[in-house]
Every structure is written in C-alpha cells, then in structure tokens.
Amino acid sequence: MLQAVARAFAGTGSLTYRQGATLILLAGTLFSFTAIVFRAVDSATDWQFLTLRGASMALVLLVVAYARRERRPIGPGDFTWRAVIAGVILACMSMLFILALARTTAAMVTFLLAAAPISGALFGRMVLRESVSVPTAIAVLATLAGVGVMVSSGIEAGDTSGVIMAALIPVVFGLYNVLIRSSGERLDPIVPAIVSGLVLTLVCGGIALANTGFGLGWRDIVLGALSGGLLLGVGLPLFNLGHRSVPTAQVSLLNLTEVVLTPLWVWIWPGEVPAIGTLVGGAIVLAAVVYLVLASDRAFRFTPP
C-alpha cells in the first residue's frame, strides 16, 4: 500500500479503487479534527485563523514539492486552468467551513456537509456523464436516512448566516470533486492545495490585516499551523491522489467519515454532547460508507468529456 501510494505520488504508478478509497477515508479522518482545533483557539478571529491555515499549508506543500523535485518537479505547465480553479474552489470551501464554524455549531456544519454525496452524484452525472450504480444509490439513500435521523433529533441552528454558509459547502464540494475527477492523471495532487493555500493567505490575510491585524499568541499560531500544515497539508494531497481511482459520488460518501467523527471529537472536548439521534444517524451514515467500499471496486463507468 505505502509503495503504491509513493509511486502514484511521484507520478510513476496508479492506485486501485480500494487504495484510493483508503486514502480518502484517511483524509476525511484528518479533516474531522478541524473543528476541535478551531474551538481550541484563544483569541484568533476566523480570518486570522484562515490566514494561518492557508500560509502553513502552502509552506508545507512547497517544501514537499522541493523535496520531490528530482522525481516529479512542478512547473508552470502543472498549473492548468482546472488545477487553478480547483484550488480557488478549495479555498472558498475552507473559508465557508471556518466561517460557518464561527457562527453555528459543529454538528450543524457537518450535518449539512453530509449532503455532499447528492451534489457529487448530480455534478458527476451532468459533467462527467457518470451513471449511478445500485450500490451507490443504496448508499445515498442510507445516507439521507441517517441525516434525517440526526436532524430529527434536534439541532441548534445558531446564526442564520452560518447555516447558509454551511449549506453552500456541499455544492462547492461537488464542483471540486468534478474538477479533480475530470483532470485524471495529469493533475499533480499537491498543485490545487498549493493554489488554495496561497489564495487563503492573500485574501484572508488582507481582510484580517484591514480589521484586526495579526497580534496573536503562540497557542493560536501553533493551532493555525497545525490545522493547515498537518490536517490540510497532509490530508488534501491524500484526498486528491485517492480521488483519481474513485468515482465522484463515492468520494463524497467516503469523505463522510469527517461528518461522523467531527461530532465525536467535539463531544469529547469541549463537551458538545450530541443527542442519541445524532449517534444513531451517524452510525447509519458510517455503515453506508463501509457498505459502499465493500460492495464494488468500480460502481461507476464514465466517458471523459
């Protein structure tokens, strides 16, 4: 597994469906720690946190690109229009996620993120002409049932703007999935993440500088760097790499590990206790993800546009 990932990352090999699915599950697990890291900050604003997140992610990935220069160098030709747009969309998704977390509960944000399989399937069907298989349809229906159970247990919506931002995340996520999927083997898995980090640094840094400046303590700096350098700096390349061998709608479903795990982490600390319905619904969603991975190595067939 590790050798296959190393070869694919260096551009000398490809991954099987199960290997790609494993990377996406791992990436979703890393992403799930974002909420608890953000909740742990002392005084950093959402824009300051986003700036630190973007800068640390870009720095880590540029170091990785330099270390990998002999085997797979990055040149101007790697920054295709798909890669750049994917990076900008990724930055928008990151902004929406953190801004929503600052205005509503982590449960609300992640539960609305659970709608990503629907948008992923729709965009995959419209853009990539992917046909939905029976296992995927069953998993999507199970996911909807799990989300219904979670929502019926009662969720505190919080600020309306936060809910709206969270509701936009699955739409943006679906667009990002289609762009990554349609790029195929030509897309270097770290290029969109580098673009995203630079966009976050420039845009969010400019907003933070205009409003509050950057007077931060070491705790907030470390947490922001952890969020970008580790959770995104490692998680995004794994996600992009695994995405190549996994159909679009399945990627959204596999990434629901983030939806299931995030409420558990904030339950452990800072003590956002989920309702029984939340746990039952989360178990249904997780079961749907496991079923999908075991049911088929290739549930989709599509013809690239």
Enter the tokens of residue 72: 């797979």
Residue 200 clears pLDDT 60, i.e. is over it? yes
The model's pLDDT over 144-171, given as tens digits with 9 standing for 90+, comes to: 888 788 767 655 545 678 878 988 998 8
On the CB side of 53, how many CA atoms lie within 13 Å of its CA?
32
Confidence of residue 93 (pLDDT cuts 50, 70, 90): very high
What is the residue-averaged pLDDT of the chain?
A: 85
Confidence of residue 305 (pLDDT cuts 50, 70, 90): very low
What's the pLDDT at 157?
47
Q: Distance between CA atoms of 162 and 104, rounded to whole angstroms? A: 5
Average pLDDT score over residue span 76-98: 93
CB 197 within 8 A of CB 54: yes
* Distance in Å from the first CA to the final CA of the chain: 31
**What is the 8-class DSSP label of residue 15?**
-
> 274 or 98, which is more confident?
98
Using an 8 Å Cβ cutoff, are 169 and 305 in contact? no
What residue ranges do the domains of the chain occupy?
12-295
Choice among 45-49, 61-65, 81-85, 287-291 with the minimum mean pLDDT:
287-291
Report for 87-101, 178-192, 257-271: range of highest mean pLDDT: 87-101
Token output for 4: 């296959």
Spatial distance between the Cα atoms of 113 and 150, rounded to a whole number of angstroms? 13
Q: What is the pLDDT of residues 52-68, one digit of tens each?
A: 999 999 999 999 899 88
Whole-number pLDDT of residue 275: 74
Q: Which residue has the tokens 């400019």?
A: 206
User: Of 55, 129, 132, which is closest to residue 300 (Cα–Cα)?
Assistant: 132
The pLDDT score that the predictor gives to residue 119 is 76
